[in-house]
Amino acid sequence: MSPIWCIAGLDPHRDTPVEILHVILLGFLKYMWWDIINHQLHNNVDKKNELEIKLASVNIDGLGIDLVAAHTLVTYSGSLTGQDFRILVQITPFVLKGLVSDDCFETWVALSKLVPLVWQPEIEDINEYLTLVRNEIDYFLLCVARWTSIFADWDQPCCSQLRDSSHSMQLSMRRVFTPIDMCPPVTLGLPLPKRNLPSDDLSLRSQSTTQLPEPYQPRSFSHFCQDWTCIGQGPAHLIAGNNTASQYLGLFPKKKKKNQAGICLSDKRPPRSFANTLMGAQFPALSVFTASERDTSLFVTAKEMYLKNGDHCLLEGHVVVRNPGGGSNVVAKVVEILQRKFSVHAMSQSPDCILIAGALLSETSAHGMPQIAASGHYGVVPLSQLLCTVNVQHDCSHNACTADASVSIFEE
């Protein structure tokens, strides 16, 4: 037994948290998705095809994800990665309606509300957060109980360990979700991928990496330069290039993407006067620009921009806007991204201001999400007031949409 368990005062349940990637995305979420494909839709080719169409048609604007590989998610449900499940947990409430039982659908809706609370990089008010996340966990477990009706354990949610950290992204919820992992309707008969087990893959990789960095093995180090020596030509050539061995050693890390936060991309339309912009039509005497700038300057518009937090926002996309008066934040639609030519903001490729249309949150849709309706009010805000993007879906269930249209997708 490891001597760590002999440390006085150590609680292995509270003091050894497990990352939520393997507890949620690669944990019970994986089995829930496999159950849908191989249990509820088993041998139903028409429903599987409909699910693929819905997955391919879902609007991903504001989610920060790439195109949905619908065929892969359905066909290879037992061999998906954490990235695949990260996509699924955000879009399943919009594609499962009418394909699964009502109790199963409510469980997925409850899960989609719980996951954003768990993936919090920072918690400002721990007491308010714990109350909210505990309620969502309880509701999620009740939905699962209604759906499966078979439990091996009724373990109470344990949120107390969250008080020991300012964020929840590395904390374990294994005890909270133990009943779900033990539900026979979900877990029985899960096929293993046709490759080595993850533990075998990791051990083989570790074996190869521990054999390679011989020059870097821990040993006594002399401070006298005459005692220093270099590694041989063979190991030097092995780690000189960007290959598997050098990447395992961390010598050639992956290139980080360029930080695009705060910039906007032009729509290539010709420059025009302020009066000929949407912003000029709504606010002819806008105080953001001086009277001289409004009368003599030329303005260009952008088709997309990156918010300060890195979110990619398209024109006519929805965002959360900070209320300058100090009240609650509001949801709004981006109507125009404006930039005055040769301004300070234009030099840094950022917009001078953004025209937004206010939105109202009305009754809940069939997907368990609030509906958005135009309020008819417009406003002009700087980029710094836009906090994050909002994903808005078309209510296909309410509008009885069918799979009649198609679109061509170009692949390499």
Dihedral angle over CA of 244, 247, 251, 254, nearest 10: 130
CA–CA dist 34, 39 (Å, integer)? 8
Same domain, 271 and 175: no
Same domain, 166 and 268: no
Same domain, 289 and 151: no
Domain annotation covers residue 405: no
Domain annotation covers residue 197: no
Same domain, 176 and 306: no
Domain annotation covers residue 224: no
Say what the pLDDT of residue 119 is.
Answer: 81
Say what the pLDDT of residue 182 is.
Answer: 33
Say what the pLDDT of residue 210 is.
Answer: 44
Same domain, 177 and 290: no
Measure CA of the first residue to CA of the last residue in the chain; give whole Å. 53
Same domain, 167 and 316: no
Question: Could you tell me which of 390, 357, 355 has the C-alpha nearest to residue 376?
Answer: 357
Say what the pLDDT of residue 188 is.
Answer: 29
Same domain, 170 and 27: yes
Same domain, 183 and 270: no
Domain annotation covers residue 387: yes
Same domain, 21 and 125: yes
Domain annotation covers residue 407: no
Domain annotation covers residue 34: yes
Q: What is the mean pLDDT of each run of 10 residues along the chain (412 residues)?
A: 77 69 82 89 88 88 82 89 88 88 90 85 84 90 81 45 52 38 31 40 49 47 73 72 70 63 91 95 93 94 92 92 82 94 89 93 76 89 92 79 74 65
Domain annotation covers residue 392: yes
Say what the pLDDT of residue 24 is.
Answer: 82
CA–CA dist 77, 351 (Å, integer)? 43
Domain boundary among 132, 167, 187: 187
Q: What is the CATH number of the domain that holds 290?
A: 2.30.30.490
User: Structural domain of residue 279, as residue ranges?
Assistant: 264-399
Domain boundary among 160, 187, 214: 187
Same domain, 47 and 180: yes
Domain boundary among 187, 210, 245: 187
Same domain, 25 and 172: yes
Against a cut of 0.95, is the pTM above it?
A: no
Domain annotation covers residue 382: yes
Same domain, 173 and 288: no
Query: What is the dihedral sign for C-alpha 109, 112, 113, 118?
Result: positive
**Residues 6+ positions from 351 with CB-CB distance below 8 Å:** 264, 302, 305, 337, 338, 339, 345, 383
Total structural domains within the chain: 2
355 neighbors 278 (Cβ within 8 angstroms): yes
CA–CA dist 226, 395 (Å, integer)? 75
210 neighbors 56 (Cβ within 8 angstroms): no
